[in-house]
Structures are given as C-alpha cells and as structure tokens.
Amino acid sequence: MKSEEIKRRALTLDDCMHVTEDGVEFWYAREIKEVFGYTEWRNFESAIKKAMISAEGTKTPVESQFVGLNKLVEGNGVAPRSIKDYMLTRYACYLITQNGDPRKEEIAFAQSYFALQTRKQELIEERMEAISRIAARDGLSEAEKLFSANMYEHGVTSEGIGRVRSKGDRALFGGITTTGMKKRLGVTSGPLADHLPGVTIAAKQLATEITNHNMIENDLQGESPITAEHVQNNESVRSLLADRGINPEELPAEEDVKKLRRKVTRDEKELEAGSKGFAR
C-alpha cells in the first residue's frame, strides 16, 4: 500500500473518531466498515460478533467495548427507518481485525491503525510491513510442511527431503547453497527464510507450490524426479525475478521474523492492557 493511501485511510479514521465525555475514543461501525474491506453490512456485523466472542475469551467485558444501538435514518421520500449500528472502542476495532486475513491490505492497515496508540504514518507503515512479512513467512512455512509431507508419501526419505529443498535453494540463489546464503547474509541461527525479504519469501513459496502441485498431478515418485522438478521451478522463478531486475542473492537480509512477531505481540498486549471501555 502506498504512503499516500495509508495517509488517506488514516485521515478517514481520524475524522470518523468520536470521543465520549469520559474521554473514550470510539467509532460507529457503519462509518468505518469499508475501511475494513467490507461492503455488505451483514458481513461486517458477522465479524463484529466474532470479535465479541474473542473478547469473552480474553475475559474482557463485551459491553464495555461493543455497544449496540439503533439509528433512525431517512430515505428518499420514505418514512424514517431504524438500522442497527455499534459503538466500537479502539480495542473492539482491533479485535475485529483479528478475525480477518492480514494479507488483505484493508485488514493489515486497520490492525496497525487500531493497535498503535499513536497514529503517526511512519509507524503504521512500519507495522504493516511487519505484518505482511510475517504473513508471507507463515504462508511459506505451511507450503513447505505440506511439500515435505507429500514428498515422504512419494518415496523421499527424511534426508532426501532436506536435499531436495537445499537444491531448490541453490537454483533460486544462482548456485549459492542455503549455508552459503546464511554466511552471505550474516545469519547465525534459525532458518534462512526468517531473514529474507518478502519478495524472496514469496518466490520460495511459489516454487514450492508449483513443485507440490506437479508432484501430485504427475505422480512423481522418488527423490530424483522430484528434485529435477523442484530445481526447474526455482530456476523459472529466478528467471522471472531477473527479468524484473531482481537477483535474490543480492538482496540484503531483513530483521528476523521472530523479532517482528514479538514487536507485533507487544503492541497487542499494550493495547489490551490499556483498553478503556465505555462506562457502565
């Protein structure tokens, strides 16, 4: 998401924010549903109800964070009608985002906006990048777990699975092994993928998904044919990146994903601890 778009959305939510006499920030659900990526009210209300259940799970009084109300709205030449709405605290809004897909820009933005007590644009951008990279890393992990399980079912030993994945890395990184890339990037512990930029993580996942698909579709059996397939797919993905001026082995390392997770979790805990609800 571009900086200009982040700023526009932040200003929209700033403008929609209301404050009670007790100083509690809140938003009307109908005023902000589209910022969350919802066009249909019934779908957004469903997400709100899921968030209420989440609040109960954290022993947060639901009524202090979510207040249902009815509003009278006037139609074009028809009698006023009553519609359902909610007053949502900052924490309530954050819980709603927790039921969404962080790979969606709207959800990633809303998570960042409501998690941060300050809404400085650069902090929102930084947190959105962290969420995006964490989501990409989780996607790669899921793909690799499935790939390993399917390779085992297709006759590849545990040691062979490691060799297949290693040769795939070598193809993606222009002949540099996984160990070589760790040395190149200064990675002293943990998986290489935890230190790769998002574009490289996505490239590894794409190659893995293609190999996994073709292994099953073509019933490839044994280490040799699966290795050949995986190497070819990594070479193809590398070629695609090269056409766009990207050489994976030349990209610098990024912050360890494990540290990013801790930062995001810290934001969440601070928000929960500092959540101030509606007076009852």
Of the pLDDT bands very low, low, confident and very high (cuts 50, 70, 90), residue 280 is low
107 and 140: one domain? no
Kindly state whether residues 138 and 189 are assigned to the same domain. Answer: yes
Cα dist from 149 to 154, 181, 210, whole Å: 9, 25, 15
Report yes or no: 262 and 268 within 8 Å, Cβ to Cβ: no
Question: 242 and 144, same structural domain?
Answer: yes
Domain count, the chain: 2
167 and 69 fall within a common domain: no
Q: How far apart are CA 280 and CA 220, in angstroms?
A: 64
Has residue 218 been placed in a domain? Answer: yes
Q: Which range of residues forms the domain containing residue 26?
A: 3-115
pLDDT digits (tens, 9 = 90+) for 252-274: 999 999 999 998 888 777 766 66
In the prediction, which pLDDT does 267 show? 75
Kindly report the pTM of this predicted structure: 0.64
Do 69 and 161 belong to one domain?
no
Helix (H, G, I), strand (E, B) or coil at 138: helix
Question: What is the mean predicted confidence (pLDDT) over 240-254?
Answer: 95
State residue 271's pLDDT score.
66
- Do 62 and 151 share a domain, yes or no? no
110 has pLDDT over 70: yes
pLDDT on residue 274: 61
Name residue 26's beta-bridge partners. 18, 89
Residue 118 above 60 pLDDT? Answer: no
Residue 77: per-residue pLDDT? 64
User: Cβ–Cβ contacts within 10 Å for residue 277, how many?
Assistant: 21
Whole-number pLDDT of residue 128? 82
Residues 89 and 149 in one domain: no
What is the C-alpha to C-alpha distance for residues 16 and 25, in angstroms, rounded to an integer?
A: 10
Beta strands, E only, 81-169? 81-89
* pLDDT tier at 147, thresholds 50, 70, 90: very high
DSSP state of 104: S
